[in-house]
Structure 1
Amino acid sequence: MNSPATTIIRVNLERAKEVSLEWEQASYSELSAYCLEILREIGCTDTELPVNLRTREQQLNFITGFASYAFGEVLNVQNVN
């Protein structure tokens, strides 16, 4: 019997690395603004960054992670039992 299709996200690590390299040159205020923009896009209404996005490294990791997801490929997969 086949199970229903499951949606799988395969991240695009190469594109995420490119985005990360581009943002490494950005200022702290540019990084902060972009992180807030990403948060708004996913439905957060806060006007300040959360505690876990206060450092430059945390912000770069967040941007890279979001890019890997955003540029990912959505697949429908069926498992056979």
Structure 2
Amino acid sequence: MTDLSHMAVSGAEIAVRVTPKASRNAVKAEDGAIRVYVTTVPEGGKANAAVQKLLAKALGVPKTGLTLIRGQTSRDKVFRVG
């Protein structure tokens, strides 16, 4: 998994591109953008919860330390570290 701990600054906003129903869970930094691949389906917030958990692990913060501020139903999401 990609180490993104250098981005874990309180108040920072992190934009990610999500791919649901992927073959495996992964967090990758590609071309300056963060891509999160999750195996869960985008129903009832399941994929958002999986993305939050994976991103928190990559950042080295607790999952409650991330807040989804934009993109609840979009593939492009913005999380705030807090």
Judging by fraction of residues, say which structure has more helix: 1
Structure number with the bigger relative contact order (C-alpha 8 A, sep ≥ 6) is 1
The interval holding the TM-score normalised by the smaller chain is 0.3 to 0.5
Query: Which structure shows the bigger proportion of residues in strand conformation?
Result: 2
Q: Which has the larger radius of gyration?
A: 1
